[in-house]
Every structure is written in structure tokens, then in C-alpha cells.
Structure 1
Amino acid sequence: MAAPNYGYEKRQKELAKKKKKEEKLREKANRKLSPSSDGLTPGDPETNVASLENDPPTVPTLPTKDS
């Protein structure tokens, strides 16, 4: 009976792991390039950085003796 080739099995596992990692990175890059409809879109006020830059910062008011 032939002895198991553990080196070959290990190499196959490493290749599968590398392929899976590359696929995940590719999918992540695709999500960055084309935002999905269920997430925030670039036109939303929450994601509009320009509107945040133009709005004055809100400063909490401290209670005074008059009020």
C-alpha cells in the first residue's frame, strides 16, 4: 500500500486557502466600486461629506442664570 503524501495534501490546502482569500479580496473591491442598493448611497445626507463641512458645528448651550 502506498504511503500518504502529506506534503501534497498540505500544498493543496494552502492553494485552496489562497484562492479563497483572493476571492474575498476581489469581492470586497467590487463592493467598494459599486455600492449596493441596500446600503447607504453616495447621495444620502448621511454620506454627504460636503454638507457636513458646510454646516456650522453644533455647540451645546450651557444654562444661564436667566433661564
Structure 2
Amino acid sequence: MAKPNYSFEKRQREIAKKKQQDEKQAKKRAAREGAKPADPADAVAPVEPGRKPADPA
């Protein structure tokens, strides 16, 4: 009967764990990218010189 190759099994578990962590980080990164605006200029309306910004209230 063949002897189990524990080193191979351990390496496969490490690879699977690394892949899972990478997928989790990619998902978090995508969520962060979706939360912030694509163009920072769109986030804030420019104020013309000599004018006061409009009150939101």
C-alpha cells in the first residue's frame, strides 16, 4: 500500500487557503472601489470665485 504524502496535502491546503484569501481581498477591494466616486472632481461641486456655496438647509 502506498504511503500518504503529507507534504503534498499540506501544500494543497496552503494553496487553497491563499486562493481564498486572495478572493476575499479582491471582493473587499471591489466593494471599496464601488463605494467611492470614479472621478474626484464629480464628488464636490466647484464654487465660483466670489460666490458663497448654497446652504443645503
TM-score (ref. length: structure 2): 0.60
More helix by share: 2
Considering Cα pairs closer than 8 Å and 6+ residues apart, tell me whether 1 or 2 has the greater RCO.
2
Unaligned runs of 5+ in 2: 38-57
Identity of aligned residues (%): 50
Cα RMSD between the aligned structures? 1.7
Structure 1 residue runs without a partner (length 5+): 36-41, 43-67
Corresponding residue for 1:16? 16
Scaled by the length of structure 1, the TM-score of the pair is 0.51
Q: Of the two, which has the highest radius of gyration?
A: 1
